[in-house]
Structure 1
Amino acid sequence: MAHHFANRIPAHLLMWQRVREYAVPPSMIETATARRVVGDWAGACAAARVDVDLDLRAVRHRHGTDLVTRLRADLRRLAPDLLRWHMPRIAPDGRLRPGLTLSLARYIGSGATPLQLVVRTPPAWADAGQRMSLALWEGSGKDAPGHHPHPHPERRFRLDLHRHLWDAGRSGELGRRCGAGGAPSMAPPDRPHVPGRPGPPGTWGCAARRDLPELPDRPTVRDAPWAVASWAAEAELLLRAEGRPRGAFTVRLGARSRAVLELVAPDDSHAPTFRTLRQELSPQDVAALPVLPEAAARVLPDLELLRAGLVAPERLHPLVAAALAASGPVAASGSSPAAGPAPEPGDPHRGDPHRVECRGEVHRIALRDGVLTAIDHDPGQLRREELLVALGGPALPCLRAIEAVHRNPEALPAVRERLGHGDVAGALAVVEGLLGPGAILRDGPLREELESAAARRIDHGLFRSGLVAVHPGAGAAGGWNALDGGHTEAGHRPRLDRRTPLAVRRKRSSRARPRTGLYR
C-alpha cells in the first residue's frame, strides 16, 4: 500500500520535501534567530549565508537620514533564514533559482525611481554554497554589478508585496495570505469542480464556461497547484502598489503562456473579482502589464506538504509553523504525517558499533580514537593485514567493510544533498560521525564530492570578486579564452583543469576509443 501511495506523490512535492530537509538546516535557523533577536542583522545574514553588499554610511550620504532609518529598520526585521526558506527554487535538485534579483522593499525618495532593497542569487556556474547577496538597487545601471547576469529586479519574483515571507514581525500573516484556513482547491471560489468530474491538476475544473483561461493540463516538475482563490485579493494589492485601483494584469502559466486577466468590482464596497480581459492587446501592451508574483500565483509548498502528509509541522521553520498553526489545523490527505528521516550512518542516534561477519565470527566496527576501526582485531594483526593488502593479497572482511565505507558510504546521498544546498558543516558532521574526525579519506565517490565542492567555492569567489563574469571554462569547448575573451592560438588545446566543463573533460579524458598518436 505504501508503495502505491509513493508512486502517486507529485515530483514537485518530493523535491520540496528534500528542500525542507536539507536546504535550511536547524543550526542555521537557531544561529540566525539568536543574532537577529539581539539586533545583529549583519550576523544573522552571515549565519544564513547572505553576503551584505550595501554600506549604510554611503546610503546616508547619498539619500539622507530618513531613508537610511527606514532601511535599517527593515534590516533589523529581516529574517534571512526565513527568506532562504521561501526563496524560488528550480527542479530537480531544489537549488536556488540562479541569476535572480528579487525586490524585498521599496523606498520612495526624492528621485523619480524608488530605491529597492534586493537580494540576488549567483549564476548556476558560481552557486557553490548557495549563497545570496543583499544590496540596494537605485533604479539605474550605474550601481548594478557588471558581473551579475540579471541585476535588475525581476517582476515575477518580487517579495515587496509579500513581506510575511522575510519580515519576522509580519510572518504571522502567512496563514491568511496563503489560504491555510480553507480547503485545498485549485478552482476559483465561484467555479467549483463539476461533481463526479474532477479536473486534472492545474486546470480550472469547469469545462462549461470559457470566459477564464485554461491552465496547463500537464503540470511539469516545476509546476504546483495554482492558488486561484486568492488571485483577486493579491491582484488588488499588486495594482494598488502600481498606482492603479483597477485594471488588467497577467499571470505566467508557462514558458510561453500567459493569462491576461482584469480586476473588476461594482464599487469600492464590494470585493473585487477577476475575469479574462475581453479586448485584444498587442504583445507589447501585454508585456507592460503588471505581473502577479509567483508567491501569489501558486499554493505555498509547506501547505502542500502538510496536506499530503509529507512533512510534520515541527519540521517546518518555526515562524512558518507558528503562522500556519494560528490559522487553524491543516487537513492532511495522507493517513498520517510523515515521520522524520531515518538516522543516517554516523548519526549519534544510530546503533553503534556495526557488525560484520569475518572468518566465521561476528566482529564489530566502531569509532575508536577518532578513527573507524575493527575493534575485535589487535593493532598488530591489522597492520599485517594492511601490508598484505598493499602487496596484492586478499583483505579481511572487516577491512573490506571499512574500505567500502570510506569510498562509497550509505550516507553519500545525504552528504551530496547537503553539499548541493551549501551545508558544508552538516555534510562534514555526517562524514565525521561515520568515519571519525581523524580519518583520512581515500579515493572514491565521497572524496570526489568533497573535492568538487571545495573547487566550486573558488569559482564562487571569482564571481564575487568580479574577476570572472562568465563560466571560466565556457570557452574551452569552442577554443576561446574565457578570461580575456580572445581567441586562442591556432592548434592550441586548452589545458584540462577544474574550470573545464564536465562534458569537455569527459570527452578529452575518455579511453573508449584508441588514440592514433599512441600507435605507429
Structure 2
Amino acid sequence: MGGKSGAGECAGEWEPHWAVDRWAAEARLVREAEGLGADGLVGVRLGAGRCLAVDTRDARVVQAEGAFPLLPDAATWVPPDRELLRAGLIDGERLHPLVAQALGVRAAQAEASDREPAGRTHLVDCRGARHRLALVDGVLSPLDHEPAEIQRESLLAALGGPPMPCLQVIDDAHRNPASLTGIRERLAHGDFAGAFDVLESLLGPGAHLRDGPLRDVLETALRRRIDHGLYRSGLGQPGPPGTEYRKRRAAVRTHPRQALGR
C-alpha cells in the first residue's frame, strides 16, 4: 500500500475494537522511527485482507494504495483489558499496577490492599488501650508512649524481654509486613518504584530495614538487578574466581529505597 494523490476518505462506522483514536499518534511514531518524517500515510491492517490508511496530517482515515509503513497490531486494536473495562466485566483492582498505569486506570482498590496512605494512623491494642501508630519524621512510630518509655521498652526487648504490643507491631512491619506479597510481586515485574512507594507509605522514607523476610526479598531483588546489569554490560560475575558474590550482605544498605537505586 502507499499513498496516492486523491485518496478517498473512508466512510462508515468504526468497529468498537478498533483503536481509531490512537491511530494518528501511533502512526506519527511509526513514520518517525523509520526516518520518514511525521507527516504522511501509514497503513492499518484490519484482517481478512482489509487495509486502510491514516493520514497523520489531519488524522483522517482514508482508502489508499501504495507502499508505506504499517501500523503495528498492538496499536491497531483496543487492548483486551480496556475492552473488558469498558464492558464492565473487570474492575481496575483486577489489573496489574503496570497494566493499569499503561491504560490510564488507577486501580485504587488493588493498591489499597497492599498500601497504606501516607499519614494514616494505625490502631493497636496495647496494654488494655487502643494506641496509635503513624509516620513521624519519616519513621513509623508509636504516638501514645513517652520517648523515655519507648527507649526503656526497646532496651528491654533488645535484652530478650517481651516487647510491648506497639513496638511488636512496628517490628513485624519492618521484618514481615502484611504487604510483603504485593511488594514481592511488584519487584518481580520490575516495578521497583511502586514497591518502594508501598514500603515507604507503611514504614516511612527514613526506615531502617531489619533482618527478616522483607529484607531478604529486597536483597534478592538487588542481586538480580546487579546481575542483570553486569550481564547487559558483558562484565559477567564480579570478583576474582571463587568469590561467593551472591552470599555477601555487607554492602547492602539498610535504607529500603537506597538499597535499589532507581
Could you say whether these structures have the same fold, taking a TM-score greater than 0.5 normalized by the shorter chain as the test?
yes
- Structure 1 CA distance, aligned partners of 2:212 and 2:35? 48
- Alignment partner of 1:348 out of 106, 109, 117: 117
Answer yes or no: is 1:467 the counterpart of 2:235.
yes
SS state of the match for residue 229, structure 2? helix
Listed one character per residue, the Cα deviations across residues 358-400 of structure 1 (whole Å, up to 9, x for unaligned) are 1111111111111111110111111111111111111101111
- Alignment partner of 2:168 out of 392, 400, 411: 400
- Structure 2 CA distance, aligned partners of 1:441 and 1:346? 18
Q: Residues 295, 367 of structure 1: CA spacing in aligned structure 2 closer, same or farther, 3 A cutoff?
A: closer
- Structure 2 CA distance, aligned partners of 1:295 and 1:367? 43
- Structure 2 CA distance, aligned partners of 1:354 and 1:70? 51
Q: Residues 444, 305 of structure 1: CA spacing in aligned structure 2 closer, same or farther, 3 A cutoff?
A: farther
Q: What corresponds to 1:44 in structure 2?
A: none
- Structure 2 CA distance, aligned partners of 1:342 and 1:454? 23
How far did residue 497 of structure 1 move? 3.6
Q: Residues 340, 391 of structure 1: CA spacing in aligned structure 2 closer, same or farther, 3 A cutoff?
A: closer
Answer yes or no: is 1:71 the counterpart of 2:34.
yes
Answer yes or no: is 1:426 the counterpart of 2:206.
no
- Alignment partner of 1:498 out of 231, 246, 260: 246
- Alignment partner of 1:375 out of 139, 143, 148: 143
Listed one character per residue, the Cα deviations across residues 290-345 of structure 1 (whole Å, up to 9, x for unaligned) are xxx9969x9953256435722459947458x9xxxxxxxxxxxxxxxx97425145
Q: What corresponds to 2:134 in structure 1?
A: 366
Q: How does 1:277-426 map to 2 (within 5 A)?
A: 300-302=79-81, 305-306=84-85, 307=87, 309-312=89-92, 315=100, 317=102, 340-344=109-113, 346-348=115-117, 352-426=120-194
Poorly superposed stretches of 4+, deviation over 3 Å = 68-74, 293-296, 298-301, 303-308, 311-319, 344-347, 494-497
Q: What corresponds to 2:210 in structure 1?
A: 442
Q: Residues 305, 316 of structure 1: CA spacing in aligned structure 2 closer, same or farther, 3 A cutoff?
A: farther
Q: Residues 304, 373 of structure 1: CA spacing in aligned structure 2 closer, same or farther, 3 A cutoff?
A: same
SS state of the match for residue 441, structure 1? coil
Counterpart contact for 1:388–1:395, Cα < 8 Å: yes
How far did residue 70 of structure 1 move? 6.2
Q: How does 1:240-255 map to 2 (within 5 A)?
A: none
- Structure 1 CA distance, aligned partners of 2:156 and 2:235? 50
- Structure 2 CA distance, aligned partners of 1:357 and 1:70? 60
1:387 counterpart letter in structure 2:
L
Q: Residues 457, 390 of structure 1: CA spacing in aligned structure 2 closer, same or farther, 3 A cutoff?
A: same
- Structure 1 CA distance, aligned partners of 2:139 and 2:121? 13
- Structure 2 CA distance, aligned partners of 1:499 and 1:440? 21
Listed one character per residue, the Cα deviations across residues 157-204 of structure 1 (whole Å, up to 9, x for unaligned) are xxxxxxxxxxxx98xx6xx94xxxxxxxxxxxxxxxxxxxxxxxxxxx
Gaps of 5+ in 1: 1-35, 42-67, 78-168, 178-229, 238-292, 322-337, 474-482, 489-493, 501-520
Q: Residues 295, 233 of structure 1: CA spacing in aligned structure 2 closer, same or farther, 3 A cutoff?
A: farther
How far did residue 353 of structure 1 move? 0.7
SS state of the match for residue 341, structure 1? helix
- Structure 2 CA distance, aligned partners of 1:70 and 1:397? 59
Answer yes or no: is 1:458 the counterpart of 2:226.
yes
- Structure 2 CA distance, aligned partners of 1:357 and 1:406? 19
Counterpart contact for 2:114–2:182, Cα < 8 Å: no
Listed one character per residue, the Cα deviations across residues 379-437 of structure 1 (whole Å, up to 9, x for unaligned) are 11111111111111111011111111111112212211221222222211211111011
Gaps of 5+ in 2: 1-24, 53-71, 249-262
Aligned CA RMSD, in angstroms, stands at 4.5
- Structure 2 CA distance, aligned partners of 1:73 and 1:459? 39
1:343 counterpart letter in structure 2:
A
- Structure 1 CA distance, aligned partners of 2:49 and 2:79? 16
Q: How does 1:138-157 map to 2 (within 5 A)?
A: none
Q: What corresponds to 1:509 in structure 2?
A: none
How far did residue 443 of structure 1 move? 0.9
Listed one character per residue, the Cα deviations across residues 480-509 of structure 1 (whole Å, up to 9, x for unaligned) are xxx99xxx9xxxxx6644189xxxxxxxxx
